[in-house]
Amino acid sequence: MEAHPANLPAPSQHRAGIRLPGLGVGFGGGMVMLYLSLIVLLPLAAVASEAFSLGLGHFWEQVTSPLAKKSLELTVICSLIVVVVNGFFGTILAWLLVRDKFPGKSIINAVIDLPFALPTIVASLILLTLYGADSPLGIDLAFTRTAIVVALCFVTLPFVVRAVQPLLLEMDREMEAAAASLGAGNFTIFRRIIFPNLLPGLAAGVALAFARALGEFGSVLLFAGGNPDTTVSSVFIRNQVESGNEVGAAAVSVVLLVASLLLLASVSLIQRWAIRHDRGSTDFIVTVENKDVSGGGI
C-alpha cells in the first residue's frame, strides 16, 4: 500500500485519475456533494434551524429543562459505565481471540459481530425476555437503569473487540519475550508493553462505542422503557416529537449532534496521533478504521 504513490511519477497518476471511470471529476464531485447534501446535510441543518428558531435563550431553556437535563445526564452516565465495562471485557475477548486456542473460537469470532447484524428492536425484545419479569434465570432488570446499561453493552460490544483485535494480531511478541527474559511478570508485561501498544485502538473503539451509546434508541426502548427514571435522550426526543414540542426535540438533538461530532473528531485525532507516534502502526490503524467504523450498527 505504501509503495504505491512513491513509485509513480506524479503527472502520470494524475492523468490516470482524470481518465478513470466515465464521469468527469468535476461532475462526479458535484454529484457526491449533491447526494450528501440532500440525504444528510439539509435534514441535519433543518434540526439546527428548528432548535434555534425561537432564539438562543429558548434553546437553552429547552436543553436545561428538568426532564431534558435528566435524560442527558442519564444518557452520559450510562454510556460512560458501558464503555468502561466493554473496554474491560472487549480487551479480554480480543486477547482470547488472538492469543488463546479453544474449540469453537472461529464461531465466537463471528458471533462478536451479531449486534451489528441483529436489529436493535429484536435485541431489546430478547433482552427483555431473558432479563425481564419472566426471566428464566430469575434476574429481573426490566425498566431499570441497569437495563439501559445492559442494552447499551449489547449493541456496543463489537466496537472495542474489533478495534483492539488487529493491534494484538500485529504486535511484536519479541518485546514481550525480551521483557520476560529480563524477569518481568505477566502483569508488568501487560502494563508496560501490551497495554501501551493497544491504547490507540482501545481509545478509538471506546470513542466509537460512546458515540453509539449516546444515540441508541431501539435496544433500550422495550427493555428499559420510558418511565421517568429510564428515559434516555433518544427516547426523550421521540416523546417530544409525539407531544408536539418540536423545538425541544431539536434542541436536545443538537446537543447529541455536537457530542457525536466531537467524538468523531477525537477518533480521527487518536488515529493521526497513533500514526505519528508509531510508524509501524500505520497499517493496522487503517484496518481499525475500516473494520470498526464500518460496523456503525443497526
The dihedral through the CA atoms of 170, 289, 255, 233 has a sign that is negative
CB 275 within 8 A of CB 285: yes
The dihedral through the CA atoms of 148, 154, 158, 164 has a sign that is positive
Out of 76, 96, 98, 275, the only residue in the binding site for other proteins (CB under 8 A) is 96
Nearer to other proteins, 16 or 69 (CB): 16
115 lines the binding site for other proteins (CB under 8 A)? yes
Nearer to other proteins, 44 or 84 (CB): 44
CB of 119 to other proteins, least distance (A): 3
196 lines the binding site for other proteins (CB under 8 A)? no
Out of 16, 54, 77, 169, the only residue in the binding site for other proteins (CB under 8 A) is 16
Q: CB burial class (10 A; 0-12, 13-18, 19+) of residue 146?
A: middle
Q: What is each CA distance from 150 to 141, 178, 219, 222, 240, in whole angstroms? A: 9, 40, 10, 13, 25
Give long-range contacts, CB 8 A cutoff, 24+ apart: 234-241.
234/75, 235/71, 236/67, 236/68, 236/71
Which x/- pattern over 156-185 shows residues binding other proteins (rule: CB under 8 A)? -x------------------x---x-----
Which residues from 222-251 bind other proteins, rule CB under 8 A?
222, 233-235, 237-238, 241, 246, 249-250
Out of 102, 103, 183, 277, the only residue in the binding site for other proteins (CB under 8 A) is 102
Residue 185 region by backbone torsions, left for phi larger than 0, else alpha for psi between -120 and 50, else beta: beta
Nearer to other proteins, 119 or 280 (CB): 119
76 lines the binding site for other proteins (CB under 8 A)? no
CB of 47 to other proteins, least distance (A): 5
